[in-house]
Amino acid sequence: MEKKQTAKVGLMGFGTVGTGVVRIIQGHQEDLQKQTGLGIEVHKILVQDPGKSRSIDSMKHIITSNPNDLLDDPEIDIIVEVIGGISPAKEYILAALERGKHVVTANKDLMALHGGEILQKAQEKGCDVFYEASVAGGIPILRALVEGFSSDRITKMMGIVNGTTNYILTKMSQEGADYGEVLKEAQALGYAEADPTSDVEGFDAARKMAILATLGFRVPMKLEDVDVKGISQVSKEDIAYGKKLGYEVKLLGIARRDGEAIEVSVQPTMLPKSHPLASVNGVFNAVYVHGEAVGETMFYGPGAGELPTATAVVSDLVTVVKNMKLGVSGRGMVAPYKEKILKEDSEKFSKYFLRIIVADKRGVLAQITQLLADKNISLVQVLQQPYNGGTQAEIILVTHLAAKCDMENVLKHMQEMEIVHEVKSCYRVEGGDSE
């Protein structure tokens, strides 16, 4: 039997990332050949509109709108899926695996919702499925979790994994601007979609944290297991008070394991300015990983864009081709095998930042602190100043560690107190000595 000289790729999607993938493969042929021992060739490309003009004209002869031209072609070894969305991407990937083709995808939505099913099918068929580009663009975080930490036990992952919200919060912090005006600017620059809901309400970050938790903890985490709160209610006043107390506000994803119990959340979080993640600005992403043996590590880089994302896709492609050459396909990304045990709210502990508007009269602060004490919550910082021309007062509190259920109880009681006119904001606080 003649030895294979070239690994042939079926590329599904020829937009921004797909174009980047083709550019890298064409421009790095010698390097790819040296790394893998095989040439890598884009053999066919699936698009919706074959007649559309594209920045790479030389590929016209291999473009098709029929997925079966890729799925049923025995010459194609690997399907690279960069069309996005759930359907038909899921059906295409499962069909490719059924036919014994390896898969590389950048599809975070699909892997967050159906990753378990896809990885299971890959194991059955002895195929590789890699999806490094689905989280944090060009940062090789998934491979680090699977390979770099394979001999360690990860206890916590904390990340800025959405560039749009990080850009908005950075601009609000640096310029003292309102959320609404910065969002419009982000949309004008192409950092935010016309409908920014997935980004600003935290759903994009939640999908990525579900993927990270699944790989890091080896449990089948789903999107609905993630507590999610977005940034649309973050005000420039919240950010200004945070800065006054030594914090920056970031949309932070946290996956934490204590024993076998797990919690995963995405929400605006106050971070001490000294924390490495506090200085991650603009559209950059960073993921902070804590392992029992290695301690703390941080991965930082561009979270999106044609070439950073395409680089992650081609990196996975190189791994697939190496595995084909070595005859070890299907042993990379392992399907989750541990039982999922989610923490109750009474087991989720955090420090909190509270900003409340109260009646400006004697004894109010004492009543507030007594309410907190009754729920076993003590204070780290207190700031009080006049509000609304001096007829009310604004109180900013930072608590010690408190259970989520106790804090929710406190907020409920505050709503019923005559002296509390409004609870303006409540954010988690991470980092610091009492962690």
- Give SS3 for 257: strand
> Chain-wide mean pLDDT for the chain?
90
Tokens at 174, concatenated: 């640096």
Pick among 3.90.226.10, 3.30.360.10, 3.50.50.60, 3.40.50.720: CATH of 141-302: 3.30.360.10
- Predicted pLDDT at 174: 96
| Distance separating alpha carbons of residues 390 and 154, to the nearest angstrom | 50
Mean pLDDT of 191-204: 91
Cβ atoms within 10 Å, residue 298: 14
Say what percent of the chain tops pLDDT 70.
Answer: 96
- Predicted pLDDT at 3: 65
* Of 302, 23, 324, 320, residue with least CA distance to 136: 302
| Distance separating alpha carbons of residues 179 and 199, to the nearest angstrom | 14
Mean pLDDT of 348-353: 96
**What pTM did the predictor assign?**
0.87
Tokens at 433, concatenated: 């000595």
- Predicted pLDDT at 294: 85
- Quick check: 435 pLDDT over 50? no
Span 349-429 CATH architecture:
2-Layer Sandwich (3.30)
Mean pLDDT of 18-39: 89
* Of 254, 252, 235, 266, residue with least CA distance to 173: 235
- Predicted pLDDT at 1: 38
- Quick check: 137 pLDDT over 80? no
- Give SS3 for 286: strand
Helix axes 16-27, 29-36, angle to 10 degrees: 80
| Distance separating alpha carbons of residues 226 and 161, to the nearest angstrom | 14
Tokens at 302, concatenated: 């561009």
Is 84:102 a contact under the CB 8 Å cutoff? no
Q: 């064409």: which residue's tokens?
A: 26
- Quick check: 100 pLDDT over 90? yes
Domain boundaries, the chain: 6-137+306-326, 141-302, 349-429
- Quick check: 200 pLDDT over 60? yes
- Predicted pLDDT at 335: 66
Task: Please list the active-site residues.
Answer: 208
Flag the least confident range among 80-94, 287-301, 390-404. 287-301
Tens digits of residue pLDDT in 365-384: 999 999 999 999 999 999 99
Q: 């050949």: which residue's tokens?
A: 33
Is 429:351 a contact under the CB 8 Å cutoff? yes
- Quick check: 93 pLDDT over 50? yes
- Predicted pLDDT at 338: 87
* 376 φψ region: left (φ > 0), alpha (ψ -120 to 50), beta (else): left
Tens digits of residue pLDDT in 316-325: 999 999 988 8
Helix, strand, coil share of the chain (percent; to 5)? 40, 25, 30
Span 6-137+306-326 CATH architecture:
3-Layer(aba) Sandwich (3.40)
Strand 349-359 to 284-291 pairing: unpaired
What DSSP assignment string belongs to 361-408?
Answer: STTHHHHHHHHHHHTT--EEEEEEEEEGGGTEEEEEEEESSEEHHHHH
- Predicted pLDDT at 306: 67
| Distance separating alpha carbons of residues 255 and 161, to the nearest angstrom | 12
| Distance separating alpha carbons of residues 420 and 410, to the nearest angstrom | 12
Mean pLDDT of 196-221: 92
Helix axes 163-175, 179-189, angle to 10 degrees: 130
CA–CA–CA angle 31, 34, 39 (5° rounding) = 85
- Quick check: 239 pLDDT over 90? yes
Q: How many residues are recorded in the chain?
A: 435
Is 346:405 a contact under the CB 8 Å cutoff? yes
Residues pairing with 129 in the sheet: 103
- Predicted pLDDT at 143: 76
**133 Cβ partners below 8 Å, 6+ apart?**
17, 82, 105, 106, 309, 310, 312, 313, 316
- Predicted pLDDT at 304: 66
- Quick check: 433 pLDDT over 60? no
